[in-house]
Chain A
């Protein structure tokens, strides 16, 4: 039987949609996890800077 007829009897594979769905899922999850961890690092940096500023104020005000 010619390949064309054989293929016509199989369900369409629609693989691009399958790939897109899984790719989008991975992208979004990783993207969000990455975004959260980056914000966390920024915040930690800011905490260190703020703590330093606080300690300086402590020493200058002699409290």
Chain B
């Protein structure tokens, strides 16, 4: 039987699998490097946030959440952009690599967007005296969360992995195209309410330079963190794929 040839049987023997193992250990090397860099950046970031950043005269210390909340929110949108690009390339060129990027970016992205929402509410409550406000940025973030969830649900409920990849790619593309439209709709819809001058969504020019610098540093820290988690998740997916291949070969042997 064709399928039981040795070349297809034990994955460790095939050149494709060897390349994957090499890539995986390369990735692990990169992973350790990223943990070190990310850890150092995070420590520095925390120091900056608590020791260097000036205390906001209006909001007090609780304003420091800003240095976590805003970068996390920015990264969650960036993650979705990665999902969009990878989904687009996947639909056009169909490599498992691209599906792996999209899937991992979506999973890590949903973590980021959930945190953005959580830190957002934990900041809104003391500052605005309400847990939630239907204003453009928060609302769009909530919709982004829903789209991420739809993406992951489609993957979970699809009949097989190939279909899961295609369907979720479609969701990734349509979702990303839609997000700007949602943002402007909500902005026009809420047009009567003025955006808060201070608070979670103060415009960047309202910041003084120290705050802006720390914010950017924080953004870099979370970018490294995102990259680390993304590579870890992609690595896990590779491993899962290997398990599936192995199970597949076992069942087809006579």
Q: Mark B residues whose CB is within 8 Å of A.
A: 4, 6, 9-10, 12, 56-62, 64-65, 68-69, 72, 108, 111, 114-115, 118-119, 122-123, 125-127, 225, 228-229, 232-233, 235-236, 239-240, 242-243, 246-247, 249-250, 253-254
Contacts and interface: CB of A to CB of B under 8 A. Distances in A.
A18 interface: yes
A21 B119 contact: yes
A8 interface: no
- Taking chain A's interface residues, is the majority helix, strand, or loop, or is none over half, making it mixed? helix
A50 B239 contact: no
Interface string A4-30: 000000111111011011101100110
Interface of A: 10-15, 17-18, 20-22, 24-25, 28-29, 32-33, 36-37, 39-40, 43-44, 46-47, 50-51, 53-55, 57-58, 61, 63
B65 A18 contact: yes
List 3 A-B pairs, minimum CB-CB distance, nearest first.
A11-B60, A14-B126, A14-B62
A36 B68 CA distance: 23
A14 B61 CA distance: 7
A22 B46 CA distance: 10
